[in-house]
């Protein structure tokens, strides 16, 4: 059943792009790993929003199916990343990403 | 009722901006939860109630609770705010912000120049349709997702275990 009052496809794409660029900017400008992880979540969420908007536009359930997979991926990713953050803090006693330079690249 | 959409989108963008500029980790996390709730409202307006519910339950609920546990475990008190203030100087963030703004302008130009159909009718897709598609067409992907979650569980358990340095197998750990 179509919804006439829904916002347009362009508005959804623009919102997803804005959120993704904000997350990308935060990822580049932060040094604290916890904040970088939050910014990765923002980017993932923007991509998921894009899937749902496109699925709603084409009247297809695949958009929401892909949203469920994106959420699953984000959950697995954040669990692994937080375990890495804990291990990082135990070894270096800081959350500064610039301290991870043991390889002297 | 497009006003509701634009209001919710403004809340999402503003709270996300607060996330990337805030100095206190817990406050930033609360702004992130606000942003996720706003995105859930937007999902609901696009006729995707299952996605809206999953956004609230899994993203704003489970994942944010995981992050807040780790923030509590790593809590160093008020010194982190001073540290963040030292790390987040304008000379640090102007470059990335300009580059991302350029990318955003490019995306906006691309979207605004693309020919979109004038059809404004969005389709309501309920949980029943999503469930039928998920467990008929994508049943292999569901199995793969379960294997991914199992691998994530085992990997997180292995990585987060706190070994004593002298008994650890990785010899160069401190």
> Would you call A84 and B159 a contact, using CB atoms and an 8 Å cutoff?
yes
Angular region, B3: left φ>0, alpha ψ -120 to 50, beta rest: alpha
Pull the structure tokens for residue B136: 């008929």
Q: Provide the pLDDT for residue B16.
A: 95
Distance from the Cα of B116 to chain A's closest Cα (Å) equals: 8
- Domain membership of residue A71 as a residue range: 32-97
pLDDT confidence of residue B173: 46
Domain-located, residue A23: no
Mapping DSSP to helix (H, G, I), strand (E, B) and coil, where does residue A2 land? strand
**Residue keyed to tokens 């299952």:** B50
Quote the minimal CA–CA distance from A50 to chain B in Å.
Answer: 10
Does a structural domain hold residue A72? yes
pLDDT at B13: 96
Cα angle value B2/B6/B11 (rounded, 5°): 145
pLDDT digits (tens, 9 = 90+) for A22-74: 999 999 998 889 999 999 999 999 999 999 999 988 888 999 999 999 999 99
A5 belongs to a structural domain: no
Pick A66 or A93 by higher pLDDT: A66
Q: Reduced to 3 states, what is the DSSP secondary structure of residue B165?
A: coil
Q: Residue A47 falls within a domain, yes or no?
A: yes
Decide if A6 and B39 are in contact by the 8 Å CB cutoff: no
Whether residue A15 lies inside any domain: the answer is no
Chain A residues with CB under 8 Å of B12 CB are 15, 19
Residue of A nearest to B91 (CA): A29
3-class SS string, chain B: CHHHHHHHHHHHHHHHHHHHHCCCHHHHHHHHHHHHHHHHHHHHHCCCHHHHHHHHHHHHHHHHHHHHHHHHHCCCCCHHHHHHHHHCCHHHHHHHHHHHHHHHHHHHHHHHHCCCCCCCCEECCCHHHHHHHHHHCCHHHHHHHHHHHHHHHHHHHHHHCCCCCCCCCCCCCC
- pLDDT category at A7 given cuts 50, 70, 90 is confident
Nearest CB to A9; choose among B50, B92, B116 = B116
Matching residue, tokens 């009722």: B1
Report the CATH number that the domain containing residue A42 is assigned in CATH: 1.10.287.3510
**Contact between A30 and A22 (Cβ < 8 Å):** no
Of the two residues A85 and B77, the one the predictor is more confident about is A85
A77 within 8 A of B149, measured Cβ to Cβ: no
Q: How many domains does chain A have?
A: 1
CA atoms of B82 and B131, how far apart (whole Å): 48
Q: Give me the pLDDT at residue A10, please.
A: 85
For residue A40, the Cα-to-chain-centroid distance in whole angstroms is 4
Taking 70 as the pLDDT cut, the residues of chain B under it are: 1, 76-77, 116-121, 164-174
Considering CB atoms only, which of B6, B59, B133 is closest to A45? B59
Specify if A59 maps to a domain: yes
Report pLDDT digits (tens) over B71-87. 888 876 677 788 888 88
pLDDT-derived band of residue A3, with 50, 70 and 90 as boundaries? Answer: low
- Residue A3 falls within a domain, yes or no? no
Domain-located, residue A26: no
Q: Nearest CB to A72: which of B69, B137, B148? A: B148
pLDDT at A77: 94
Using an 8 Å Cβ cutoff, are A40 and A27 in contact? yes
What are A92-96's contacts with CB under 8 Å, separation 24+?
A95/A32, A95/A33, A95/A34, A95/B74, A96/A31, A96/A32, A96/A33, A96/B87
Q: Which residue of A has its CA nearest to B61?
A: A75
pLDDT at site B121:
64
Residues of A in contact with B152 (CB under 8 A): 75-77, 79-80
Calculate the alpha carbon distances from B132 to A70, B103, B127, B128 in Å.
18, 38, 9, 6
């Amino acid at each position: 059943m179509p919804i006439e009052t829904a916002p347009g496809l362009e508005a959804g794409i623009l919102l997803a792009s804005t959120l993704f660029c904000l997350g990308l900017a935060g990822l580049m400008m932060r040094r604290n790993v916890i904040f970088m992880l939050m910014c990765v979540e923002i980017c993932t969420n923007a991509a998921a929003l894009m899937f749902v908007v496109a699925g709603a536009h084409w009247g297809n359930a695949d958009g929401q199916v892909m949203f469920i997979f994106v959420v699953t991926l984000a959950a697995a990713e954040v669990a692994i990343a937080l375990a890495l953050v804990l291990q990082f803090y135990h070894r270096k006693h800081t959350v500064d990403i610039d301290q991870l330079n043991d390889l002297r690249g | 009722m497009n006003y509701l959409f634009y209001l919710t989108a403004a809340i999402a963008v503003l709270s996300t901006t607060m996330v990337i500029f805030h100095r206190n980790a817990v406050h930033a996390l609360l702004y992130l939860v606000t942003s996720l709730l706003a995105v859930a409202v937007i999902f609901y307006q696009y006729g995707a109630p299952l996605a809206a519910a999953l956004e609230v339950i899994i993203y704003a609920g489970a994942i944010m609770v995981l992050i807040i546990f780790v923030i509590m475990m790593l809590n160093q008190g008020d010194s982190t705010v001073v540290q963040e203030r030292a790390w987040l100087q304008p000379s640090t963030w102007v470059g990335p912000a300009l580059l991302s703004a350029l990318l955003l302008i490019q995306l906006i130009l691309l979207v605004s120049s693309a020919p979109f159909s004038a059809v404004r009718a969005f389709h309501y897709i309920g949980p029943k349709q999503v469930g039928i598609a998920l467990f008929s067409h994508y049943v292999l992907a569901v199995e793969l997702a379960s294997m991914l979650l199992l691998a994530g569980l085992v990997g997180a358990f292995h990585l987060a275990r706190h070994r004593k340095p002298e008994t650890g197998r990785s010899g160069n750990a401190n």
